[in-house]
Structure 1
Amino acid sequence: MDINSVARSMVGIRTSIPDDAFTAGSLGTVREGSGVIIREDGLVLTIGYLITEAEEVWLTTADGTVVPGHALAYDQETGLGLVQPLGALGGPAITLGDASKTRVGDPVVFVDGFGRSLPTKIVAKREFAGYWEYLLDEAIFVSPAHPSWGGAAVVGEDGRLLGIGSLKLVMSRNGTTSDINMAVPVNLLPPILDDLLTLGRVNKPARPWLGAFTAESNGDVVVMSVAAGGPAAQAGLQGGDIIAEVRDGEITGLADFYRQVWKSGQAGSEIPVRILRDGREAWLRVKSADRDSFLKKPQLQ
């Protein structure tokens, strides 16, 4: 691998988000991370939370050049985002690899947009359910963890892009814990790329969104909190509630909960859920929504 070439394909990303944006409280109004150039026209792939509701996007190249950008697209399902630079970046486009062919134990390099690279390896490939109504059938997990993981590139020994850094997590194994990173496999991008470029989102009905932040505890799905003004809050769902059923089906964990919600219809569908609260059960009817409808849309300057 030519690590210098990979580094030239990377950019630093800094975004500014309005104070009244829906995600300002949870993700902040100034966000920093990385992105990778994936096309000769300079198109940048990153992790979507960096650019969600961004009113300003600034890209910094490997040689220190600062170029404004436009938050072109964010896909809620994969978590991937695209930035169109509004000037020349000068770096080469990286070649997309095939994450599905990787194996646990494979060596990879985690490269960010600030000149730092970390030799690491794949320690797991498995389902990942995130508390914000997010699910990947097979995410990539690498260790040791990169200190600047957001939007950074997981690159194979052949120099091809395998994934985009998303989270830092803690893995427990044999009584010891270690920091790991979760990355979104790049294979998820090609099937949706044309839609993202032309429409800014995937051309299909939006999934129903509840606005509930949930966690799994001993197989139970527990509500940690709800998004202010979101469907779950309006229906009366509260932190501490245990979600036991969706419609007529019991749920067996966080991933199963999401899948049952998503198969209940399109965004806007009314979704009945059975909850346990203070030892009592009740049914709530949550009128779901399209999550994107709560977000500020980027304006091209």
Structure 2
Amino acid sequence: MVRPKLHSPSWLMSLALLLMVATPAFAESQLPDFTELVDMAAPAVVNISTTRDAERITTSSQQFGGQEVPEIFRHFFGDRLPLPPGGAPNRGDEPRHSLGSGFIFDEDGYIMTNAHVVKEADEILVRLNDRRELKAELVGADEKTDVAILKIEADNLSTLDIGESTDLKVGQWVAAIGSPFGFDHSVTSGIISAINRTLPQDVYVPFIQTDVAINPGNSGGPLFNLDGEVVGINSQILTRSGGYMGLSFAIPIDVAMDVAKQLREDGHVSRGWLGVSIQPVTKDLAESFGMEQAEGALIAGLEPSGPAAESGLQAGDIILEVNDQEVDRSSTLPRLVGEVAPNADVELTVLRDGRNETITVEVGEWPNASPEQSDSDQIRLGIAVQPLNDTAKRQLGIDNGVRIARVDPTGQAAAAGIRPGDVLVSIGQQPIESPDQLKEMLTNLPDDQTLPVLLNREGRAYFVAIQLGKAS
């Protein structure tokens, strides 16, 4: 039998010629050209440098370039320690300088950047594209979203066009301009890898995930779409080495502009608050509640005087929607509620006893929204607590303690892994008897020390180490 010839030399040669001719043209037609975008946008992108007095630098400050950096989400500005003549190591009593990026979004001289870029800065210096260097005033900063607003006094300022981050799609081309390692107006590009990402301790921001190269000094810089509009603020990366590893995260510009408006008008940001402690709905829990899939936020506890309790919500309810917006996982709930103005009504779709119910709640204001609302324990630990009754103590096998009702996602307690529902038993070997006693204890403890904290979680005792902030 004669077999047919499937691959003749002439056929292969024709295919090779076709690929040689067609492939470069195809690739060139599909890749974006960023030159026009950069020419238009670069004049409004700024370099930000800050100075902090040495005595204000705590031992907990992370320094880029350490021997080992764990795989964590990191805010990424550029710590630069000035070297004395001869390149000797920096002395501990010298000021510390940091670098970051930002952009002008208002012709009156308002600049947007990350809050961590200017945190605790004693002096903020802004360098423009035309090499002017100007001192900047901090208008306000919101650590929960990592957005800060600066103000400079100057004429003939270029500004950037603000886009809409709600229109972004996965796979879309984006570009960043910033000052990595102090190299002003460096441009990197990539695509959007995912949207609405929730990161640990950053539950108020639905991050834009990209593969745009972000390095120390990029933080606070703009993320652009192909129309040259700002759609995000570059903020964090996921890294094992301390350097860029292919995952970058930006704050959506819609979130940032809302924060900027409140900072300019009020000096702080107000957020909605329900007064509930929540936990994820696991596959097993979903099955036990008769759910087809694991979704929503399970209410584990309620603050007795909080908006949720007063509206009839109960422990065991599963919140599925907030104003018709799906709560796909528990970490989505704080963001959706936080976007609601305090004292406004919100409709919650709740699963209770196997049936969906709609409950209207008048949202409260998150405590700590302004300095006069802060309690000592919330400032120093980032928690709010409730008394623990005798029945609960007997069930847990403890003699004392207070139950943690709220945990500020950006506070020291959250960083240590403390969760709502945990019982705080002791701090520094001192037993905790009541919320008032805890408040008094924290008021009298020295600043910036690390103490062992004994917790009880679901009947199991364990220690965590936590660093105290400053007392009020």
Q: TM-score normalised to the size of structure 2? A: 0.45
In structure 1, distance between residues paired with 2:300 and 2:58: 27
Change (3 A) 1:207 1:181: farther
Deviates more, 1:74-83 or 1:36-45: 74-83
Between Structure 1 and Structure 2, which shows a larger proportion of helix residues?
2
Report the identity percentage: 18
Instruction: Report what 2:367 is aligned to.
Output: 266
Aligned counterparts of 1:282 and 1:201: Cα–Cα separation in 2:
38
Pair 1:79-2:149 in alignment: no
1:265-284 matches, cutoff 5 A: 266-267=367-368, 268=375, 269-270=384-385, 271-272=404-405, 273-274=421-422, 281-282=460-461
Q: Which runs of 5+ in 1 are unaligned?
A: 172-176, 209-215, 220-244, 285-290, 297-301
- Given the alignment, which residue of 71, 92, 105 partners 1:38? 105
The 1:256–1:111 alpha-carbon spacing in structure 2 relative to 1, beyond 3 Å, is closer
Counterpart of 2:122? 55
TM-fit CA distance, 1:187: 0.3
**How far is the alpha carbon of 1:195 from its aligned partner?**
2.3
Question: Displacement of 1:202 after TM fit?
Answer: 1.6
Contact 1:127–1:136 under 8 Å retained in 2: no
Q: How does 1:1-301 map to 2 (within 5 A)?
A: 1-21=36-56, 25-26=60-61, 29-85=96-152, 87-88=153-154, 90-113=156-179, 114-130=184-200, 133-147=201-215, 148-170=217-239, 178-203=245-270, 247=301, 255=331, 266-267=367-368, 268=375, 269-270=384-385, 271-272=404-405, 273-274=421-422, 281-282=460-461, 294=470
User: 1:185: how far off?
Assistant: 0.5
Structure 2 partner of 1:222: none
CA contact 2:189–2:213 (8 Å) conserved in 1:
no
Q: 1:137 and 1:115, CA in 2 relative to 1: closer, same or farther beyond 3 A? A: closer
Q: Call closer, same or farther: CA 1:73–1:5 in 2, change over 3 Å.
A: same
Counterparts of 1:23 and 1:199, CA distance in 2: 30
Say how many residue pairs are matched: 248
Tell me the CA shift for residue 194 of structure 1: 3.1
TM-score when scaled to structure 1? 0.67
**1:7-63 residue CA offsets vs partner (Å, 9 max, x unmatched):** 111000011234454877335743211000000112100011011221100001112
Shift of 1:198: 3.0
Q: What CA distance in whole angstroms lies between the structure 2 residues aligned with 1:254 and 1:19? A: 41
CA gap of 1:30–1:110, structure 2 versus 1, over 3 A, is same
CA distance in 2, matches of 1:24, 1:205: 34
Q: 1:78 Cα shift?
A: 1.8
Is the CA contact 1:13–1:34 (under 8 Å) kept in the aligned structure 2? yes
Q: Which has the higher contact order (CA 8 A, sep 6+)?
A: 1
Alpha-carbon distance between aligned partners in 2 of 1:58 and 1:6, rounded to the nearest angstrom: 20
The Cα shift of 1:163 comes to 0.4
Letter of the 1:93 partner, please give it: T
Question: Quick one: which amino acid aligns to residue 255 of structure 1?
Answer: S
- Preserved contact between residue 27 and residue 49 of structure 1 (Cα < 8 Å): no
Change (3 A) 1:108 1:93: same
Deviation, 1:126, is 2.5
Gaps of 5+ in 2: 1-35, 64-95, 284-298, 303-314, 317-328, 339-362, 369-374, 376-383, 386-403, 406-420, 424-454
Tell me, yes or no, if the aligned pair for 1:111 and 1:117 is still in contact at 8 Å: yes
Structure number, greater radius of gyration: 2
CA RMSD after TM alignment: 4.2
CA contact (8 A) 2:198 2:206 kept: yes
- 3-state SS in 1 of match to 2:220: coil
Which position in structure 2 is the counterpart of 1:236?
Answer: none
Residues 278/80 of structure 1: CA separation in 2 closer, same or farther (3 Å cut): closer
Distance 1:42 1:256 in 2: 34
User: As a proportion of its length, which structure holds more strand?
Assistant: 1
Please state how far the C-alpha of 1:256 moved relative to its aligned partner: 7.4
The letter for the 1-side match of 2:223 is V
Give the whole-Å Cα distance in 1 for the aligned partners of 2:333 and 2:59. Answer: 27
User: Within 2, Cα distance between the matches of 1:112 and 1:246?
Assistant: 43
- In the superposition, relative to structure 1, how do residues 79 and 99 fare at CA in structure 2: closer, same or farther (>3 Å)? same
SS at match of 1:196: helix
Any idea what the Cα deviations from partners look like across 1:66-91, whole Å, max 9, x if unmatched?
Answer: 11101111112321111111x32644
SS at 1:54's partner residue?
Answer: coil
Q: Is the 8 A contact 2:175 2:189 kept in 1?
A: yes
Structure 1's 257 and 163: CA in aligned 2 closer, same or farther, altered over 3 A? closer
